[in-house]
Amino acid sequence: MPSIELQSRRFTTDRLDTHAFVAGDPQKPALLLIHGNVSSAVFFDQVQAELARDYYVIAPDMRGYGKSQLEAIDATRGMADMSDDFAALLAHPDLGLAADAKVHVVGWSVGGNVALQLALDHGTRVASLTLLNPGSPKGFGGTKDVAGTPCYPDFGGSGGGTANPDFVAFLAAKERGSDAPVTPRNVMVNFYWKPGLALEPAREEAYLSAMLDTTAGATTYPGDVVDSPNWPGVAPGVTGMNNALSPKYLDQAGFAALGAGGPPVLWIRGADDQIVSDRSMFDFGTLGELGAVPGWPGAEVFPSQPMVAQTRAVFDAYQAAGGRYREVVFEDCGHGPHIEKQDAFLAELRTFLREQGA
């Protein structure tokens, strides 16, 4: 059966000029696919085409990513800029959704945090959540336990300064090569999925191009950088995605309080994820322990952030309050289950959606 064609469209709201790929029949149940950091909706290309046989599938680019308008991210609002953007998109008359229509939301990586925020702030539009290796509800970096206790009062070790400056420079220069360890291509093939995954060359190039469509700098990725007297010497600023992910501004533990009134949740993660895990290779606690960042003060002061354990604790509390969630772990899989295990992902998602009557 031929794939459904993805339509590249633009929707102007009072917040943003948003680019989105749209596919399928607007009369069918709607799915909203939210991409991760340093990526775009292009990373959903194949699964969007498959899902569009049975659903109306909308895959937008976040502000400053992909082909959407460059607009600063107010990090002090956590994920709220992005969730408000997408709520405005869902209300756009040209999208074809009824004013009271609920959508099933799929969020990958930081897109999972945006999805959680959408449920918190615009819950009347959310029918269900499917979260693929989502960032911790307690933010990214600088916390030491399941409760999300900060390692330092200034939340040092999180924010815009957590990004490798060489990677940011390569991103800004639109570097397509692989001659340095932290070029966008090498970061993608070694961390976006489990190393060794063989993609068709054209697909790899398309995903690399999607990474390079990220606006690198102080307003989008990674955000402004602030010095800290605490190891490793950086604290969160006030603009950009990595600052928005800082636990100084992002605490979504309140999702648990939605309880029985909240949407059902399917949590899918790869067992070998190196980005979002209890020993993330992007976390200063892990890097310090490994000697990659000198001066590590030790595990009592700055351990690896238990990202998966923090997520599970919030979802367990959500379940105890009457909410519903299911955790599914794909073995031999890294950070991109929808790419690495596409058939298994689609099977799990379709089963979950059928359970919700979609």
Tell me if 221 is assigned to some domain: no
Residue 271 included in any domain: yes
Q: Is the dihedral of CA 270, 260, 306, 186 positive or negative?
A: positive
Average pLDDT, the chain: 97
Residue 323 lies in a domain: yes
User: Which CATH number covers residue 295?
Assistant: 3.40.50.1820
What confidence tier does 2 reach under pLDDT thresholds 50, 70, 90? low
- The residue count for the chain: 358
- Rounded to whole angstroms, the Cα distance separating 140 from 25 reads 37
The set of residues, in sequence order, having a beta carbon less than 8 Å from that of 165 and lying 6+ positions away, is none
> 241-253 pLDDT, tens per residue?
999 999 999 999 9
Average pLDDT of span 217-233: 97
Q: Are β-strands 56-60 and 103-108 bridged in parallel, bridged antiparallel, or unpaired?
A: unpaired
pLDDT of residue 3: 67
Q: Is residue 80 part of a domain?
A: yes
What is the tally of structural domains in the chain? 1
Q: What is the mean pLDDT of residues 337-354?
A: 98
Q: How far apart are CA 40 and CA 42, in angstroms?
A: 5
Q: Are 303 and 285 in contact (CB under 8 A)?
A: yes
Res. 321: pLDDT tops 80: yes
Q: Is the per-residue pLDDT at 222 higher than 70? A: yes
pLDDT of residue 317: 98
**Mean pLDDT score, 115-138:** 98
Give the percent of the chain with pLDDT over 70.
Answer: 99
168: in domain: no
- For the entire predicted model, the pTM comes to 0.98
Instruction: Flag whether 139 is in a domain.
Output: yes
CB 128 within 8 A of CB 104: yes
pLDDT digits (tens, 9 = 90+) for 254-300: 999 999 999 999 999 999 999 999 999 999 999 999 999 999 999 99
185 domain-assigned:
no
36 contacts 11 by C-beta, under 8 angstroms? no
Quote the domain boundaries for residue 131. 7-149+248-355
Q: Has residue 1 got a pLDDT over 90?
A: no
Range 47-67 average pLDDT: 98
Ramachandran angles phi, psi of 8, nearest 5°: -85, 115
Q: What is the pLDDT of residue 79?
A: 98
Share of the chain above pLDDT 90, in %: 98
Give tens-digit pLDDT for 6-28: 999 999 999 999 999 999 999 99
Q: DSSP strand E in the chain: where?
A: 7-12, 17-23, 30-34, 56-60, 103-108, 126-132, 216-217, 221-222, 225-227, 234-236, 265-270, 325-330
Please tell me the predicted confidence (pLDDT) of residue 5.
Answer: 87
pLDDT exceeds 90 at position 4: no
DSSP 3-state of 329: strand
Phi-psi group of 169: left, alpha or beta (phi > 0 → left; psi -120 to 50 → alpha; rest → beta): alpha
| Residue 154 belongs to some domain of the structure | no
The per-residue pLDDT for range 139-191, each reduced to its tens digit, is 999 999 999 999 999 999 999 999 999 999 999 999 999 999 999 999 999 99
Average pLDDT, stretch 26-46?
97
- What pLDDT is stored for residue 250 in this prediction? 98
